[in-house]
Structure 1
Amino acid sequence: MASWRTMALAMLVISSFFSFSSYASSHDFLVCLSAAIPEQLLFTRSSPSFASVLASSVRNPRFLTPTTVTPLCIVTPTNASHVQAAVVCGRRHGVRLRVRSGGHDYEGLSYRSARAEQPFALVDLAGLRSVRVSRRAATAWVDSGATLGELYYAIAKASGRLAFPAGLCPTVGVGGHLSGGGFGMLLRKYGLATDHVVDAVLVDAEGRLLDRNAMGRDVFWAIRGGGVGGSFGVVLSWRVKLVAVPPTVTAFTVAKSVEDGVVDILTKWQEVAPALPEDLLVRVIAEGQVASFQSLYLGTCDALLPVMRRHFPELGVNRGHCKEMTWLQSVSYIYMGGGASVEDILNRTAVEDAVFSKATSDYVRESIPRDVWAEIFTSWLAKPNAGLMILDPYGGKMAGVPDSETPFPHRRGVLYNIQYMNFWRAAGEGAAQTAWVRDLYAFMEPHVSKHPREAYANYRDLDLGENVVGGGGIMSYEASRVWGEKYYKGNFRRLAMGKAKIDPDNYFRNEQSIPPLGDQLILTNMTVAYVDHID
């Protein structure tokens, strides 16, 4: 039997070998990139601008700390060939890629790693942000690095009668938003953002440039709602079908406090909101002892008021609440308030994006009893470090789409989505705020969807589970089901099978990426190289 000194020496040699191999791979990767990408588009850790480029679209400073696992380098492509080169160099030298469009990833996994594994590079798509609108065809090609605000503005400037049904926040990147489904104030009329994707351009794990036909039916299905985190490759651009809006829409916000009877009103809202005419969406933001009922109606105030009196008189909406405007004006008004202009949605760096935050989500399929809402307001929302709850109603168009139409499965039978959020202002704080989110989530378990307890992939939460990577770099499909079926329900298996077709050796991966389901015993290129060398 070998002595402990011999064993220790052997371990030191092996450790040194892996460290040297990792360094050599990283160095060779950077050399490879430098030969294919202009130097002004490549930022290594030693670059003076590395920190500022990394932070340029980080929306949650919780992931900018001295202990954050940051990329080996940042590639800021301006055309498809730069992304292709990053993939080819990465595959050749054992460096994985993470892809960022707008930086709103709730866990920051588009630009950082939650644990130190092998080195990775960041492909930041902010330089790919073109929007090309065809008014005649009612379509647009939009690059993944564009923001929703830039997309909305370009559409409205082409035609005041066209729109796109996506999210409220104008700084959200198109790439991540469409990859996870995407919904906003037009949800009940037109469904998800990703329901309107008709083509896309993808760089796959071999560096090939693929359109809808070339990537195949299963992969095209997968990227439209199941591609969060770039599991299937790097989507460079999307062709989307635009939707019709009237020249005048009406927005209103009505605040109701506990003293105003908000518990009863909110209890009624659960039944009313999903059953309203699909031209009308009334969402709720509950914070402290007040709930704000925020609405967009595709029509005039004169047409809206009879609808509200007939379906939801308890809210007491009157003409004084109505704000008539164009659809584009409603984008800035609903998210930024009455003092904002439509040009403000083009600002890629909003002040509020610098707030630390923690969030998670639920889906509700049966109305929550009144006494539970009473406890939420008198206890949970009244706590000193309480956050807020955002309730988005479904129904309308969503109820008529099969769960398997896209990877996003939360459709028929869903009354509304809940987002739990909390915020803090300074590094080193946040323990109480994070505990509030987690504790309220635990409290809500009996009252929300079950088997599985559903969650929205674009509100990513690592508390729901993480991928397990075992020996040889093999990712466990069974372990991934813990989080995957919450986001995708029965569609998770089909996603994993699609992953095996486009990226069988799992080059594109992170803590919550789709694992390949097929030949599970595939080692990464870098691991195979190590094994061959050791043998």
Structure 2
Amino acid sequence: MKTINPLLLSILISLLSSISWATSAHIHENFLQCLSHQVPNSNSFSKVIYTPHNSSYASILQSFIRNLRFTTPVTPKPLVIITPLQEAHIQAAIYCAKEHGMNFRVRSGGHDYEGLSYVSYEVPFVIVDLVYFQSITIDVENSTAWVQAGATIGQLYYRIAEKSKTLGFSAGVCPTVGVGGHFSGGGYGMMSRKYGIAADNIIDARLIDVNGRIHDRKSMGEDLFWAIRGGGGASFGVILAWHIKLVPVPKIVTVFTVNRTLEQNATKLVHRWQYVADKVDDNLLLRLFLRRVNSSTEDGRRTIQASFVSLFLGGVDTLVQLMQESFPELGLVREDCIEMSWIDSILYFADLSGEPLDVLLNRNTSVADYYFKGKSDYATEPISEEGLNRIWKELIAAPIETFEFLFSPFGGRISEISATETPFPHRSGTLYNLHYALVWEEKGSSEFNRHITWIRRFYSFMAPFVSMSPRSAYLNYRDLDLGVNNKGNTSYGQASIWGLKYFGVNFERLAHVKTMVDPGNFFKNEQSIPIL
């Protein structure tokens, strides 16, 4: 067998790199020229366009990257970043990206678990960062709000509380998450058992389609409006804003966090929680966090701590009585509880208690200085005590340090809504969602491989305890391990490998909507809805 001359190989690689660089440079110049022709006042537009030649390019790119996994030298970088000031800038970006064969990414808050709002593994690509689309208009009289897609849920909560002490919104607990992606993927939070998820409370939207046309609910039609409320907006267009229905909250809510270790009967409490959390009064949401900690009874021994974290839409006296009736095993007492306003509970669950309320306006409080990998499951049957003990054994023996296991209860309003009402299918019959979170700070490929290998192995270990056929997952906890699209126009069959896990019976309808509104598959990523 002949071998290639090393000098010739070096020349070939250099030549290919030069061709690739020249091609990118050519596309880059043509794309920028296209933008200048599309926007009449190109001088103002040029101030929000960043290329690798700009001194601000790196800081703009990294400003809202929440995960160090996507800051490595080999992570694909965009050819251009645009931070639009007006809708015409986004329309121009769509038109020119189509004209010059560039992949397209839209970043709202930067929390996509796999970085798909700012990383494309098909290059070249452009990022449209909606950081300046943060307008929020609260209509107290009609209990509604318009919120632009670049706003965060923390900003939304703050603006609601600024106008009313008795209105809130049902969405997540992390205040720096952008509403553009969070709402379009579902949006579970501490009031979801009472009012459903965020997507259940969207009454209108504004969206730019693949042809640059701006739609509201009426002009986009009910099929597309259905698809973007839980099916992920990035497959269908650019979400500009949501019109949401605000929900009533009492002037006083009650929170508590009660910790129990295995030595304090945690196994029986977790087992019992599975029979209570989805059936208890809808005003109560009782989340469960599981972590490995040092035992307080034996030096050097590890144990599991179960943290029962709750929001009750009412006062402490009613809550204590309710818990005594529904979950007396936990032993909740008045001293465990804190009464506060709903907006203060937002700070409590975000670990920001004691901070001024305007900390919710800060988009940068969770910019990452760590590596992160998350996965998810759904439980439709309780895990037995024997099963829980097997899980504890795995977690205690884990060769990694920082992980968290979260059970989020369903039931209540979430389960009253039909599985096909929105693309989010996890409704009646779902007991709780499971979230696996792994965090590490050590750099290097060996540490990366060690942590990723462990969480994948643990995910496989959990298979007997969770839903199956399909093994369901939550889109907002995106996981490329579930499967990815082929490059270009992937097949429906290939995409079904991951799509059925997120969307179940709704996946086929999503593909029909995608084919109708984006037949050329311009809005695509590694887990975008396929065309048929």
TM-score under structure 1 length normalisation: 0.91
1:271 aligned residue (257, 275, 292): 275
CA distance in structure 2 between the partners assigned to 1:365 and 1:161 by the alignment = 34
Counterpart Cα distance in 1 of 2:308 and 2:268: 13
* Equivalent residues of 1:287, 1:381 under 8 A apart: no
Distance in 2 of aligned mates of 1:374 and 1:133: 49
| Counterpart among 491, 502, 506 of residue 491 in structure 1 | 506
Q: Offset at 1:350? A: 1.5
The answer to whether 1:297 aligns with 2:312 is yes
Which residue is 1:417 aligned to?
A: 433
Counterpart CA distance in 2 for 1:44 and 1:71 is 8
Q: Which runs of 5+ in 2 are unaligned?
A: 1-8, 293-303
Q: Does 1:247 align with 2:284?
A: no
Do the aligned residues in 2 keep the contact of 1:423 with 1:430 (CA within 8 Å)?
Answer: no
Alignment-derived partner of residue 532 in structure 1:
none
- Secondary structure at the aligned position of 1:165 is classed as coil
1:440 aligns with 2:458: yes
Deviation at 1:188, TM superposition (A): 0.3
2:235 counterpart SS class: coil
Q: Which sits farther off after the overlay, 478-487 or 370-379?
A: 370-379
CA deviation after TM superposition for structure 1 residue 382, in Å: 4.4
Deviates more, 1:182-191 or 1:433-442: 433-442
Query: Which of 334, 342, 354 is equivalent to 1:327?
Result: 342
Matches within 5 A, 1:62-101: 62-101=69-108
Q: Secondary structure at the match of 2:47?
A: helix
Q: Structure 1 CA distance, aligned partners of 2:86 and 2:230?
A: 24
Pairwise CA RMSD: 2.2
- The answer to whether the 8 Å contact 1:363/1:416 transfers is yes
Query: Could you tell me which residue of structure 2 aligns to residue 474 of structure 1?
Result: 489
Offset at residue 23 of structure 1 (A): 4.3
Residue 204 (1) aligns with residue 209 (2): yes
- Distance in 2 (CA, whole Å) between partners of 1:373 and 1:339 is 36
Deviation per residue, 1:284-339 (Å, 9 max, x gap): 11000101100000000011011000000111110111110000000001111533
Of 123, 144, 154 in structure 1, the residue corresponding to residue 128 of structure 2 is: 123
Equivalents in 2 of 1:312, 1:432: separation in Å? 39
| Offset, 1:496 | 0.6
Q: Deviations over 1:92-132 (max 9, x none)?
A: 2211210000000000011012x3x3311000001100110
Distance, in Å, in 2 between the alignment partners of 1:468 and 1:91 is: 19
Distance 1:379 1:486 in 2: 25
- Secondary structure of the 1:360 match is strand
What is the aligned partner in structure 2 of residue 316 from structure 1? 331
What corresponds to 2:407 in structure 1?
391
Write out per-residue CA displacement over residues 144-179 of structure 1, whole angstroms, 9 at most, x where no aligned residue: 100000000001111110000000000000001011
Secondary structure, counterpart of 2:264 in structure 1: coil
For 2:92, give the aligned amino acid: A
Aligned positions, number: 505
Matches within 5 A, 1:348-367: 348-351=363-366, 353-367=368-382
Residue 435 of structure 1 and its aligned partner are, at CA, apart by 2.2
CA contact (8 A) 1:381 1:388 kept: no
Paired with 1:167 and 1:382, the residues of 2 have a C-alpha distance of 31
Aligned-residue offset at 1:351:
4.8
CA contact (8 A) 1:148 1:167 kept: yes
Tell me if the contact between 1:392 and 1:417 (Cα under 8 Å) persists in the aligned partners: yes
Could you tell me which residue of structure 2 aligns to residue 43 of structure 1?
50
Give the structure 1 partner of residue 193 of structure 2: 188
Q: Which moved more, 1:379-388 or 1:40-49?
A: 379-388
Q: Any conservation in 2 of the 1:329–1:341 contact (CA below 8 Å)? A: no
Q: CA deviation at 1:348?
A: 1.0
- 1:4 maps to which residue? none
Equivalent residue of 1:366, what SS? Answer: coil
Describe the shift of the 1:299–1:101 C-alpha distance in structure 2 as closer, same or farther (beyond 3 A).
Answer: same
Matched-pair contact (CA < 8 Å) for 1:333–1:340 = no
2:489/2:531 contact within 8 Å kept: no
The answer for the alignment partner of 1:27 in structure 2 is 29
Aligned equivalent of 1:459, options 473, 477, 482:
477
Question: Conserved in 2, the CA contact under 8 Å of 1:62 and 1:427?
Answer: no
**Could you say if the C-alpha distance between residues 257 and 352 of structure 1 is closer, same or farther in structure 2, counting changes exceeding 3 Å?**
farther
Following TM superposition, by how much is the alpha carbon of 1:21 offset from its aligned partner in structure 2, in angstroms? 5.5
Cα distance, 1:231 vs. partner? 0.6
Q: 1 CA distance for matches of 2:357 and 2:451?
A: 33
Q: Distance in 2 between matches of 1:277 and 1:53?
A: 45
Which has the higher mean CA deviation after the structures are superposed, 415-424 or 208-217? Answer: 208-217
Contact preservation (8 Å) 1:186, 1:281: yes
> Would you say the 8 A contact 2:64–2:367 is kept in 1?
no
Report the residue type matching 2:77 in the other structure: T
In 2, Cα distance between the equivalents of 1:294 and 1:15? 54
Deviation at 1:514, TM superposition (A): 0.6
Cα shift at 1:18: 8.2
Cα distance in 1 for residues equivalent to 2:443 and 2:282: 43
**Contact 1:143 / 1:238 at 8 angstroms: preserved in 2?**
yes
Q: Residue in 2 aligned with 1:224?
A: 229
Q: Is the 8 A contact 2:344 2:353 kept in 1?
A: no
CA distance in 1, matches of 2:212, 2:104: 12
Q: Distance in 2 between matches of 1:476 and 1:509?
A: 13
Task: Indicate if the aligned counterparts of 2:65 and 2:367 stay in contact, CA closer than 8 A.
Answer: no
Deviation at 1:204, TM superposition (A): 0.7
Deviations, residues 69-99 of structure 1 (Å, cap 9, x unaligned): 0111100011111111101111122112100
- SS in structure 2 at match of 1:489: helix
* Structure 2: distance between partners of 1:370 and 1:356: 32
CA distance in 2, matches of 1:74, 1:15: 23
One-letter identity of the residue aligned with 1:445:
A
- What whole-Å deviation, never above 9, does each CA across 1:320-379 have from its counterpart, x for those lacking one? 111100000000011115333322222211157332111100000000111111122233
- Conserved in 2, the CA contact under 8 Å of 1:202 and 1:234? yes
- Distance of 1:338 and 1:98 partners within structure 2: 35
How far apart are residue 22 of structure 1 and its match?
Answer: 5.3
User: Structure 1 residues 332, 382: CA separation in 2 closer, same or farther (over 3 Å shift)?
Assistant: farther
CA contact (8 A) 1:332 1:341 kept: no
Amino acid at match of 1:60: N
Partners of 1:204 and 1:149 lie apart in 2 by: 28
